[in-house]
Structure 1
Amino acid sequence: MISINNLTFEIGARALYDDANWHIKPGDKVGLIGANGTGKSTLLKIIVGEYAPTSGTISMAKDIKIGYLNQDLLSYHSEKSILHVAMEAFARQNQLHTEIENLLKKLETDYSDDILNKLSDKQLEFEALDGYNIEFRAHEILAGLGFSEDEQQRPLATFSGGWRMRVMLARILLQTPDILLLDEPTNHLDLPSIKWLENYLQAFEGAIVIVSHDRYFLDRIINKTVESRKGKLTLYAGNYSYYLEEKSLREEIQGNQFKNQQAKIKQEEKLIERFRAKASKAKMVQSRIKALDRMERVDAIDDDNPEVNFSFKFSKPSGRHVVTMENISKAYPNLQILENTNGLIEKGDKIALIGANGKGKSTLLRIVADADKEFSGSSVKGHNVSQTFFAQHQLEALHLENSILQELVNFAPKHTETELRSILGCFLFTGDDAFKKIKVLSGGEKSRVALAKALTADANFLVLDEPTNHLDMASVNILIQALQQYEGTFIVVSHDRYFLDHVANKIWYIEDRKIKEYPGTYQEYEEWNSKRVVKPEEKVAKKPKEEPKPKQVAPSVDSQRLLQKKNKELSSLEQKISDQEGLVKRLEVDLAKEEIYSDAQKLQDCTRNYNSEKARYEQLQADWELLAEEIMELEAGQA
């Protein structure tokens, strides 16, 4: 479909790609990943012809249709409705529609066969191109991306940048291209829209290349992963989770090869040094020197996953109640957001505030942060609460003439310069980057500086609005580590589900204009929420006549004994699972040992043993789930 051969692309003296190769095949669903600055977005621009390679070739079929979503589309301006803009995808159908309208007008005064034949031909082509359904398809996709019927009639120019990007995405999807190139497609989507897009792309029959830092999104769509690193493109035959496992295995093998080669090189160098001065050994020495020069060197492993090496410092802990909200109501013209609702944030809470755009997440966050005073009810901070608020508008508080490092030094004097340089490195400001002036930074770079400031504040309560925007996966991991070891309290809005699942211990969502709470992780909330959602057909079904509730009786002795027995079985099973998990992990380590993978028979035996024990481990887990369900049913019967 698309073939990239020996691609080199240079920016000044730097080679962003150096003799890179990649073949995109029909039906491939590929995640293009890599750290910021490794050229992912640039590669998409090279594929579509916006940039020309320094050398190498990009070859593809002449009639291939490419749909390309990138952040530059934000500059597109139109006073026409977003429905009209989305339907611009149907260029030929729109042209035919106009021609048919003109022919019908001519037919009012001209009944010639020529007009009738032209009209018939145009109508047949229009029907063949499914022209009568294009408006329905446009409505369907715009609705999936979060636009109501009324909003679809509003001019594009009246929407914010994020919503305009959704319209551009809708237009691209309606083109039904042979291949979709999507550069950070989830950046401006809320969680319901991300899930809708996931379902759409899973069913998409063409090829897809996605640049994204949302690993959950990638895992649900892609079947291949291509890593852009050090000027090369490396293919992994699986989704993002597979890539992480496979890369770890490859690096372990490479690390062992590097270690063995370095030992061999040192041994050879000792021999050369020992016999260099002896004339009788000169030929042997020269031969070994040449062999060393010809040796293809194995690279050492670079650590792409730095760990947090700074600590949060706040001078005093908060009281038990951090924020108490009572009878909160908030409305905008023609829109009630919150109505007579209550909320309590307690010390140690790690809250993820989730939901669709327009439901009031950002409004509630501003109320919590005391940034919005226009509401009824009360929101009160507790004893000793010190707060910092990170949001995109915090960029305006940066001092433009300061260097990045000076901005943090002034803001967080309790941290050493080494600690501040460390956190700046975590957020992609390495080396001399720390001395750049704030005024020369891009919007994304300023956002990262503001986030670094938030994490170094003397605050025991963090309010974070979309902190993962503009971060690559490595930086998101750094933020996760930082928040996991943070001993204070925080509430965060984000659409990155992997991030939320690893930092939150409570979920807040707004339903019926009330603050609702789920006491668990994001994944647990998703499982619970999927079971409580009423299907459309169930909503219209006739409500069955309620049967009289049976009288509650005390649980029998037999059922109590059975429950005790089942609980003992569950404990025993949990120990077996723990033991089996340890065995599987030991076998995984064995598979990476050189004496195993370098011997075909040993590798085959070890792999067979590993697969057998892993299958047993998975069966034990399945048995545990069945037993746990039985216990829950027994407990429910005794309630």
Structure 2
Amino acid sequence: MVAPLHIGLEGISFSYPGGHRVLTDISFAVPSGSVTGLIGENGAGKSTLLGLISGELAAGSGTLITPPTTGFIAQETSLPFTEPASTLIDAAVNELRQVERDITVFSERMATEPDDEALAADFDRALARAENSGVWELDARIASILAGLGLANVALSTPLGEMSGGQRRRFALATLLLRPVDAMVLDEPTNHLDDEAVDFLIGELRVFSGPVLAASHDRYFLDEACDGLVDLDPSLGAEGGFGEDTRQGARFSGSFSDYLRARQSRRDRWASDYAAQEHERARLRAAAEQSAEDVFHSQENKTETRAAAKFYADRAAKTVGNRRRSAENRLDALERSEIPAPPARLEFRGLPPHTATSLGLPAVVAKQLSVDDRLAPLDLKVQPGEQLLVEGPNGSGKSTFLKILDGTLSGFDGELVMPEEMSVARLEQDDSWQDLSRTAEEVFSTLVPAGSPTLVEMGLMNEDQAATPLADLSLGQRRRVSLGVILASPPDLLLLDEPTNHLSLILAEELETALLDFQGTVIITSHDRWLRRRWRERMSRGDSRAKILTLSTLWTDEVWRD
């Protein structure tokens, strides 16, 4: 029997104890040589699906096919902390080292058994595998992998317990890349990788001959590495189209950019179909309310006899009755299968008057602003209406800078000048809700002005999610509540700390689009390479509002990079 060269799922469903259904009838295939991205908001079932493929979980129904040697790297590693890194590397390449040892043994035996044809055949097979697997270049390969993932300066004698979480994670990724596997399954593979390491990983996946399935929120990675995407987010029907293939696990061909274009095309068709439906609804309602006078506009001839007048009146009544019944029947059929209105796009509502703009004052002026061991001295001037992207490695003080601006952190050196009348709000990197027992809508309604649209009306949640206690929502869903508060009552100065963290890919796209129309001042920090690339594209197109500030780290210790 020939071993499968693809990852295949057919009708896979899974429920956790208690009946909570996570996956429903998932069917897709990852062919050999393909890198397929697995996407969906937190809670959509990405990690669950990877657990099924790895064998950690058992599907309730359906068929799963994987190649015989499938390598996995989980989002959180469970490696022994007492072992040095060298043990991991040795274990990863042991199979290839064994080929090298076999060749040595076969070669020595052939010197004393030159006429043994079976031995010669074993030697030829081992030699061919060594050449195909790159056994002779294995040491150089190990060095290349470690350097590419930013581990060249970490001694292999270092115990895992003395490393940062990011270093352990990158060593786990290195072992997977070094192992001779037929397929790879990755969970958030770009976590803890800098830009250069991400590019290195993308290059490795491109030349891998087997199938790759990678769950990721990294839009840059999905765009550069993947030739197909599988969307597990059940909200695809509400966000991506109506009357299309909107099942959980819908597959899209191409990169993330292609995926976005496909969704937009679906939405355009949805909007067009909805507009045509509403036009037809209005026409049928008008037809259902027609009277005889609406149909027959001619005046009665004075010379007509009473019999003739009755004939025409009966004919008019019959005609009008038929038309009205036909219109009512068609209207009933339309309403039984009506197309819902496309959800509204995210937008900032209730925009403030921006008094700082009217006064002609800068929104932020900083002179030698710094915090010991957290933020290097910086000089900065931000004009009202400008949108500033603050970038830099972990430990460079991005979040510290925002906390100074919103008044959370007062212990700083240098000078900071901001108009007193300017309102300021910050979307924090990690939400810190005090009462998790209340529902999302209850919490939201207490934080926004009276008369504000609900979370459902803003397109941030469906009705079930809005009625769910915060304690039972995912990080991404709680993030939607915080975002809704900002959108419903935006300030003069909006501070966004890693705003795309925990957001679904589509919601992150909508937020970035909404920022283009926001007339207030924005200061945003982000490590999101997709967002940063888009920001530079804005600047190259001549968008005078878009600016960039790059902070340098005060730290050289590897832990700060992670």
In 2, the alpha carbon distance for the partners of 1:82 and 1:370 equals: 44
| Structure 2 SS opposite 1:213 | coil
2:493 to 455, 461, 480: 461
**1:447-494, CA deviations, whole angstroms, 9 ceiling, x for partnerless residues?**
443444444456322222211111112221332243233222122122
| Structure 1 SS opposite 2:345 | coil
In structure 1, the residue matched to 2:10 is 5
In 2, the alpha carbon distance for the partners of 1:94 and 1:312 equals: 66
Contact 1:468 1:476 in 2 (8 A): yes
Residue 148 of structure 2 corresponds to residue 144 of structure 1? yes
In 2, the alpha carbon distance for the partners of 1:449 and 1:422 equals: 13
Alignment of 1:401-550 (within 5 A): 401-412=437-448, 414-416=449-451, 418-423=453-458, 425-426=459-460, 429-456=461-488, 459-500=491-532, 501=534, 505-510=546-551
In structure 2, the residue matched to 1:351 is 388
Residue 345 of structure 2 corresponds to residue 307 of structure 1? yes
1:209 to 208, 213, 219: 213
| Structure 1 SS opposite 2:551 | strand
Distance change >3 Å, CA 41–CA 374, structure 1 → 2: same
Contact 2:188 2:214 in 1 (8 A): yes
1:221 to 221, 225, 228: 225
- The alpha carbon displacement at 1:189 in A equals 3.6
**1:119-172, CA deviations, whole angstroms, 9 ceiling, x for partnerless residues?**
xx9xx9999887797666455434433446158765544555555433433333
Letter in 2 for 1:399: D
- The alpha carbon displacement at 1:241 in A equals 2.6
Alignment of 1:63-212 (within 5 A): 63=68, 65-73=69-77, 76=79, 78-81=81-84, 85=88, 88-92=91-95, 137-147=141-151, 149-150=153-154, 155-158=159-162, 161-162=165-166, 164-212=168-216
TM-score by length of 1: 0.58
| Structure 1 SS opposite 2:254 | coil
Residue 53 of structure 2 corresponds to residue 47 of structure 1? yes
Moved more, 318-327 or 186-195: 186-195
In 1, the alpha carbon distance for the partners of 2:136 and 2:144 equals: 14
- The alpha carbon displacement at 1:308 in A equals 2.0
Distance change >3 Å, CA 127–CA 237, structure 1 → 2: closer
Contact 2:496 2:525 in 1 (8 A): yes
| Structure 1 SS opposite 2:457 | helix
Contact 1:304 1:474 in 2 (8 A): no
Distance change >3 Å, CA 151–CA 420, structure 1 → 2: farther
TM-score by length of 2: 0.65
Contact 2:349 2:490 in 1 (8 A): no
In 2, the alpha carbon distance for the partners of 1:139 and 1:372 equals: 44
In structure 2, the residue matched to 1:387 is 424
Residue 404 of structure 2 corresponds to residue 400 of structure 1? no
Higher relative contact order (CA 8 A, sep 6+): 2
Contact 1:9 1:18 in 2 (8 A): yes
| Structure 1 SS opposite 2:422 | coil
| Structure 2 SS opposite 1:342 | strand
Letter in 2 for 1:437: P
Contact 1:398 1:407 in 2 (8 A): no
- The alpha carbon displacement at 1:508 in A equals 1.5
RMSD of Structure 2 on Structure 1 (CA): 4.7
In structure 2, the residue matched to 1:611 is none
Contact 2:10 2:25 in 1 (8 A): yes
Contact 2:390 2:550 in 1 (8 A): yes
Distance change >3 Å, CA 415–CA 256, structure 1 → 2: closer
Residue 363 of structure 2 corresponds to residue 322 of structure 1? yes
Contact 1:255 1:300 in 2 (8 A): no
Contact 2:425 2:495 in 1 (8 A): yes
**1:423-447, CA deviations, whole angstroms, 9 ceiling, x for partnerless residues?**
4x41xx3214324333444444444
In 2, the alpha carbon distance for the partners of 1:165 and 1:53 equals: 27
| Structure 2 SS opposite 1:469 | coil
**1:336-372, CA deviations, whole angstroms, 9 ceiling, x for partnerless residues?**
962x531222211211122333444444444444545
In 1, the alpha carbon distance for the partners of 2:100 and 2:501 equals: 42
Distance change >3 Å, CA 337–CA 256, structure 1 → 2: closer
- The alpha carbon displacement at 1:495 in A equals 3.0
Letter in 1 for 2:355: P
Structure 2 unaligned segments of length 5 or more: list them. Answer: 1-5, 102-111, 113-122, 235-245, 285-335, 539-544, 555-562
Letter in 1 for 2:441: L
Distance change >3 Å, CA 417–CA 59, structure 1 → 2: same
Distance change >3 Å, CA 242–CA 419, structure 1 → 2: same
Letter in 1 for 2:345: E
Distance change >3 Å, CA 303–CA 145, structure 1 → 2: farther
- The alpha carbon displacement at 1:321 in A equals 1.8
Distance change >3 Å, CA 431–CA 172, structure 1 → 2: same
| Structure 1 SS opposite 2:523 | strand
Letter in 1 for 2:511: L
Alignment of 1:560-599 (within 5 A): none
| Structure 1 SS opposite 2:28 | strand
In structure 2, the residue matched to 1:243 is 259
Distance change >3 Å, CA 443–CA 251, structure 1 → 2: closer
Distance change >3 Å, CA 511–CA 469, structure 1 → 2: closer
In 1, the alpha carbon distance for the partners of 2:440 and 2:27 equals: 37
Structure 1 unaligned segments of length 5 or more: list them. Answer: 99-112, 114-120, 268-297, 514-639
Letter in 2 for 1:307: R
Contact 1:26 1:207 in 2 (8 A): yes
In 2, the alpha carbon distance for the partners of 1:39 and 1:420 equals: 23
